[in-house]
Structure 1
Amino acid sequence: MAQKNLLAARLVVDDDFEVGPVNDRLFGSFVEHLGRCVYTGIYEPGHPTADSHGFRGDVIELVKELGVTTVRYPGGNFVSGYRWEDGVGPKEQRPRRLDLAWHSTETNEFGLHEMAKWLEVTGGNELMEAVNLGTRGLQEALDLLEYANVPDGTALSEQRRANGADKPFNIRMWCLGNEMDGPWQLGHKSAEDYGTLAASVAAGMRQIDPDLELVVCGSSNHGMPTFGAWEQTVLEKTYENVDFISCHAYYQPYLNEDGTRDMASFLASSVDMDGFIKDVAATIDATKARLKSTHDVHISFDEWNVWYQGEEPSKVPEGIGNWPVAPRLLEDVYSAADAVVVGDLLIALLKNADRVHAASLAQLVNVIAPIMTEPSGPAWRQTTFFPFSATARLAKGGTVLKPKLAADRVDTPRYGAVDGVNAVAVRCANGSLAIFAANRSLEVSAAFEIKLPEGTEPAFVEAQTLHNDDPLAANTLDDQNRVRLQPNESAGYDAAAGVVRVLLPAVSWTVLHIS
């Protein structure tokens, strides 16, 4: 395809055509007992900002700014070998255990009570609890539910009260295991075996509380050899007793034959996410039809992010005598290009808001995270912090409008020709309009035009763009504010044409707020 000096893109905003409301749970995150996510991440007694619970105050303020709504906990791969009882009761009596998922030692100093208190301190965010269906099963899941949610009068509810939580935690959303399709998972199962177990656990949990919202494991990525068949088998067995099926996806640049990174395809990663969602939605619909069900199952995209798997920060410890406590693991340093991809993935989630009713950016602090910390030191925002925060702030409580987008195409080795600009419009809760747009081109800026509804006279048009002339620029301990959202002065309203125009630099993500 011939190179152009400027890409063209046009988005038509029409309130008569909606995708659906934005569920607040779309802006969830994920805290796993992995690396420094918990220890020296959200929890560090003795830190200069720590409160009486040992929670880092600087991290709490950043989490509030990020706009997180739900937190999936305690894993992840970690949960498949976790005994929840280890994390309750007096801290000095809690056992130290080997964590086989990440070859580390778990001190259990932080557990269910601490997480519930931390969520309360961060503003009452919702806990999304995962149960171990790797090494455990029905009885252990029922015990945890009784401990967490039954008010009083039973052995386990009274144990919770004795441990300091007089009122139940009232956890509504539960994950039935984690990535059970993955051979790397402790207790990995076939779709047949996992579906049978998940069905019995779901039915049993509903005998205690019929109004729980349950998430069954889907495929751990779009490219799994069992993808599709896994979803079909598991849903056939669990459909009437679950509310969500999960999707997980991580993206990084593939390598070209010459060893360079395929950045063109990387910037179009949301093409894969969108296809993943549509494939799973089709399986849900087919299962519903086969079962002649009136029940709806939605998608929980409860792990998604950019993750440089296989590279040095992601290597786990090795050796029978090497089981460190909270080692530095998966501490990717994110670039401006990574942030553009994260912003584009958020656009894909919004475009599928009718099917995706929950999502969790994995993870929250230090581990492939938008927030980084140093022990006894500062906390700062990674580049990926900014698109998530801006989208959460404007889109919560809003309605996604059906995208009517026309854009020049750019070539990618992996996905073929794709829209050079990807964009979506959200009618905000207060009636204003938010537009989120990513320029996927590596080299060419885009002239982006937004046709507003007839009769619209904007009082203001505010545009902010995340871009750096060096797409690999990052925020680090020594330079914490190198990449961030900056005002885009090119944005303006043409009253005669009824359009807003803005210039989108190459490799950029932009948010426009129109009131």
Structure 2
Amino acid sequence: MAPARLTLEPGFRIGAVDRRLFGSFVEHMGRSVYTGVFEPGHPLADADGFRTDVLDLVREMGVTMVRYPGGNFVSNYRWEDGVGPAEDRPTRLDLAWRSIESNAFGLGEFMAWAQKAGVEPMMALNLGTRGTAEALDLLEYANHPGGTARSEQRRAHGAEDPYGVRLWCLGNELDGPWQMGHKTAHEYGRLAAETARAMKRFDPGLQLVACGSSNAYIDTFASWEATVLEHTYPFVDYISLHAYYDPSGTDEDSFLASATEMDRMIDDVVATADHVGARLRDRRRIKLSFDEWNVWYQSRFGGEHSLDWEAAPRLIEDVYDVKDAVVVGSLLITLLRHADRVGAACQAQLANVIGPILTEPGGRAWRQTTFHPFAQTARYARGTVLRVEPDSPVLETEKYGEVPALWATATHDEARGEIALFAVNRDRTAPLTLSVDLAAFPGARVVEHLLLADDDPRATNTAEQPDRVRPRAVDGTKTDDRRLTVELPPVSWSMIRLTTA
């Protein structure tokens, strides 16, 4: 076995674990909403039409925040269509995904669902085909107590108390020509700044996310962020990042090293934001909202023009295998390794559409392989992220050159006396022996070691075999003389929990 080493030291810290890192995303796209989270008439639907089996899985997964209602969908969306009596709501064409939108699920349903799921709402605004006035109308409807036209409208619709949404996205991917209302960086920056200024006049405590680039390969990457932040820096709290990693678009070694690309993208956006802050002599540090990320077999998708006008079609319902889950685990590690600057993140999406949860209409719901590293990281990554610098054998990849076989991070919950170590072996053929120096934590001992790996890295979960791939407890992992030694199989993700009490 090739050796790998790292040291855990409580004095070497990156930052606190922000619970918003464990966000997800529900868009009116495919079956994410309809027959995903919402299916009146399902045997397990509650009185509001919410699938309770999905709600149970969302709670188990540990999702803390959900972005809604898009995504590309939001840039052609009239929020007013989704409020009031369902029987009075109009049916519309959704141009983003060439779908029929019934509007049976709207703002009120989402807020009721979020409360039951125990998640914070992250609302996206339409700054594509609409603007500041419509954004302020929605803000008044959602957050003002009463006595005004929009707030009284909400109360008439059955929501006596305001929703109190604190986190708002100022549009979505408006750098992309596929977006309804696509804009130049100056056009978007000006609109976003004026909308943000007005929203902060309503409530200075709101937290606002400006649109960053839709990916790191678009021609305007970095220059878009610089221009947008020139306009918006005084008014926003976050700049967004979006990235998807395609297993079928590259060689396997490069795919397993996808976190390298996420890591670089974060560094690039941080550098761009800090440059703008320095030029404006603004001492605030803009945080990053990585509010769309996931593995997506994007090269299999024929594009929006391949779609016909259907209601809730089966759209990009990728089935994930062990390799995909290991990559998702490595991306979560990357987000934690940047906890000082990444303050929010959303895995896209929650159900069916490239989701960790799959459902059948009228049938069961089950966990995909990618469900598990998210759930375990959300559950055990608490306290402070430690600065971990692994010493590891390297792998040669076509896309990224040499990358370390080991990708890892750790968190220290001082109040609970717990350490959580998250480690991925990206090597497809060789195991790793990992040695962890625990001299700074005398008396630390292993409580639990969960491993996600399989002799068949292409193994998946199905409705018939929903637990074919899941984390399994590893016996025999222990500390000896202030050192943890653990074997990491090829293409594997591990969570090792230790107690210092």
TM-score (norm. length: structure 1): 0.95
The equivalent residue for 1:108 is: 103
Correspondence 1:227 to 2:221:
yes
Q: In structure 2, what is the Cα distance between the partners aligned to 1:41 and 1:482? A: 22
Q: What is the Cα deviation at residue 180 of structure 1?
A: 0.5
Q: In structure 2, what is the Cα distance between the partners aligned to 1:269 and 1:242? A: 29
Q: In structure 2, what is the Cα distance between the partners aligned to 1:252 and 1:115? A: 30
Correspondence 1:514 to 2:498:
yes
Q: In structure 2, what is the Cα distance between the partners aligned to 1:229 and 1:444? A: 41
SS at 2:234 equivalent:
helix
Q: What is the Cα deviation at residue 264 of structure 1?
A: 0.2
In the alignment, structure 1 segments of 5+ residues that lack a partner are 1-5, 256-260
SS at 1:232 equivalent:
helix
AA aligned to 2:29 is L
Q: May I ask how many residue pairs the two structures share in their alignment?
A: 498
The equivalent residue for 2:296 is: 307
The equivalent residue for 1:27 is: 22
Correspondence 1:401 to 2:405:
no
SS at 1:460 equivalent:
strand
The equivalent residue for 1:155 is: 149
Q: In structure 1, what is the Cα distance between the partners aligned to 2:193 and 2:34? A: 34
Q: In structure 2, what is the Cα distance between the partners aligned to 1:411 and 1:309? A: 24
SS at 1:344 equivalent:
helix
The equivalent residue for 1:390 is: 376
Task: Give the counterpart of 2:242 among 240, 245, 248.
Answer: 248
Q: What is the Cα deviation at residue 204 of structure 1?
A: 1.0
Q: In structure 1, what is the Cα distance between the partners aligned to 2:34 and 2:451? A: 34
Q: In structure 2, what is the Cα distance between the partners aligned to 1:198 and 1:285? A: 19
Q: What is the Cα deviation at residue 296 of structure 1?
A: 2.5
Q: What is the Cα deviation at residue 462 of structure 1?
A: 1.5
Q: What is the Cα deviation at residue 458 of structure 1?
A: 2.7
The equivalent residue for 2:419 is: 433
The equivalent residue for 2:37 is: 42
Moved more, 297-306 or 445-454: 445-454
Percent identity, aligned pairs only, is: 55
The equivalent residue for 1:258 is: none
Instruction: Identify if the C-alpha distance between structure 1 residues 87 and 61 changes in structure 2 by more than 3 Å, giving closer, same or farther.
Output: same
Q: What is the Cα deviation at residue 454 of structure 1?
A: 3.3
AA aligned to 1:424 is T
Task: Give the counterpart of 2:125 among 124, 131, 135.
Answer: 131
Correspondence 1:500 to 2:494:
no
Question: What does residue range 326-475 of structure 1 map to in structure 2 within 5 Å?
Answer: 326-396=312-382, 398-428=383-413, 430-454=416-440, 456-475=442-461
Aligned-residue RMSD, C-alpha: 1.2
Matched-pair contact (CA < 8 Å) for 1:267–1:340: yes
Q: What is the Cα deviation at residue 490 of structure 1?
A: 4.7
Task: Give the counterpart of 1:487 among 452, 473, 495.
Answer: 473
SS at 2:298 equivalent:
coil
Q: What is the Cα deviation at residue 456 of structure 1?
A: 1.6
Matched-pair contact (CA < 8 Å) for 1:147–1:160: yes
Q: What is the Cα deviation at residue 449 of structure 1?
A: 1.2
The equivalent residue for 1:3 is: none
Runs of 4+ in 1 over 4 A off after TM superposition: 314-319
In the alignment, structure 2 segments of 5+ residues that lack a partner are none
SS at 1:205 equivalent:
helix
Q: In structure 2, what is the Cα distance between the partners aligned to 1:102 and 1:7? A: 47
Q: What is the Cα deviation at residue 297 of structure 1?
A: 1.0
Task: Give the counterpart of 1:270 among 256, 259, 283.
Answer: 259
Q: In structure 1, what is the Cα distance between the partners aligned to 2:428 and 2:93? A: 45
Task: Give the counterpart of 2:233 among 234, 239, 248.
Answer: 239
Q: In structure 1, what is the Cα distance between the partners aligned to 2:57 and 2:295? A: 20
SS at 2:391 equivalent:
strand
TM-score (norm. length: structure 2): 0.98
SS at 1:89 equivalent:
coil
Matched-pair contact (CA < 8 Å) for 1:104–1:317: no
Q: What is the Cα deviation at residue 7 of structure 1?
A: 2.3
Question: What does residue range 287-306 of structure 1 map to in structure 2 within 5 Å?
Answer: 287-306=276-295
Q: What is the Cα deviation at residue 27 of structure 1?
A: 0.3
Task: Give the counterpart of 1:210 among 204, 219, 230.
Answer: 204
Q: What is the Cα deviation at residue 9 of structure 1?
A: 1.1
AA aligned to 1:375 is P
Moved more, 53-62 or 290-299: 290-299
The equivalent residue for 1:62 is: 57
AA aligned to 1:136 is R
Q: What is the Cα deviation at residue 489 of structure 1?
A: 2.6
Q: What is the Cα deviation at residue 494 of structure 1?
A: 1.3
Matched-pair contact (CA < 8 Å) for 1:87–1:112: yes
Matched-pair contact (CA < 8 Å) for 1:424–1:437: yes
AA aligned to 2:202 is I
AA aligned to 1:148 is A
Q: What is the Cα deviation at residue 252 of structure 1?
A: 1.3
Q: In structure 2, what is the Cα distance between the partners aligned to 1:126 and 1:225? A: 34
Deviations 1:294-324 (A, max 9, x none): 2221000000000011315x655747xx411
Task: Give the counterpart of 1:189 among 183, 193, 204.
Answer: 183
Matched-pair contact (CA < 8 Å) for 2:209–2:237: yes
